[in-house]
Structures are given as C-alpha cells and as structure tokens.
C-alpha cells in the first residue's frame, strides 16, 4: 500500500488550523512545510477559505428564526413521542400497534 505523505501532512494542516495538533506533530509539520511547496500551497488555500468563511454573514429575520426553532422543537417532540404502553392503557387501536408503541 502506497501512503501519500502529502495526504498525511495535509490532514495535519487541517488539525493545526483547528487547533488540535500536538506540539510534536506541529514541529514535524513545520519541518515538512519548509521543503514542500505542495503542502505550503494547501496551507495557503486553506487559510484563504477560512478567511472567506469568516466574512460570510447574513441577518436572520427574528420571526422566521423563531418559526424554524419551533418547527425543529416540534419535530424533536414528535420523534420522542413514541412511548411504551401496557395493554388497556389506551383504548384506541389506531394509536398503537402490537409492538405496544403509543403515539402521543
């Protein structure tokens, strides 16, 4: 199996930019970057992407934001709305099946 060292160092660049690279690996990365134009270009491109993302912003309509959050909350409540019931606890055969699940 042929390991591409550029892939390894590019993952290390990603980890470094995320602030999760160990000091030992950071030193190894610095040494590699001093001799590898390909990985230096990857680092430069990654920095440009991050800089571009930091300039990305927009205003959210507060009413729309509240409606979206309410819809998400409702979906979450419906997703957990299945509860186990004992036979006879609910008199509606439409609300549960033989599995004993009950939809609130």
Contacts of 5 (CB under 8 A, 6+ apart): 32
93 pLDDT above the threshold of 60 = no
pLDDT in tens, 15-62: 999 889 899 999 999 999 999 999 999 999 999 998 888 777 777 788
pLDDT at 89: 55
Q: What is the mean pLDDT of residues 83-97?
A: 51
pLDDT at 15: 92
Percent of the chain with pLDDT over 70: 71
36, 69 contact by CB (below 8 A):
no
How far is 15 from 21, CA to CA, in rounded Å? 5
Contacts of 36 (CB under 8 A, 6+ apart): 6, 9
How far is 51 from 61, CA to CA, in rounded Å? 25
């Amino acid at each position: 199996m042929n390991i591409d060292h550029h892939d390894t160092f590019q993952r290390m660049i990603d980890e470094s930019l995320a602030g999760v690279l160990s000091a030992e690996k950071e030193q190894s990365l610095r040494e590699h970057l001093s001799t590898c134009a390909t990985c230096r270009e990857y680092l430069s491109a990654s920095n440009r992407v991050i800089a571009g993302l930091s300039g990305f912003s927009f205003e959210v309509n507060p009413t729309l934001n509240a409606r979206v959050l309410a819809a998400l909350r409702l979906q979450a409540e419906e997703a957990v709305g299945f509860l186990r019931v004992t036979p006879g606890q609910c008199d509606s055969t439409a609300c549960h099946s033989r599995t004993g699940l009950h939809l609130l």
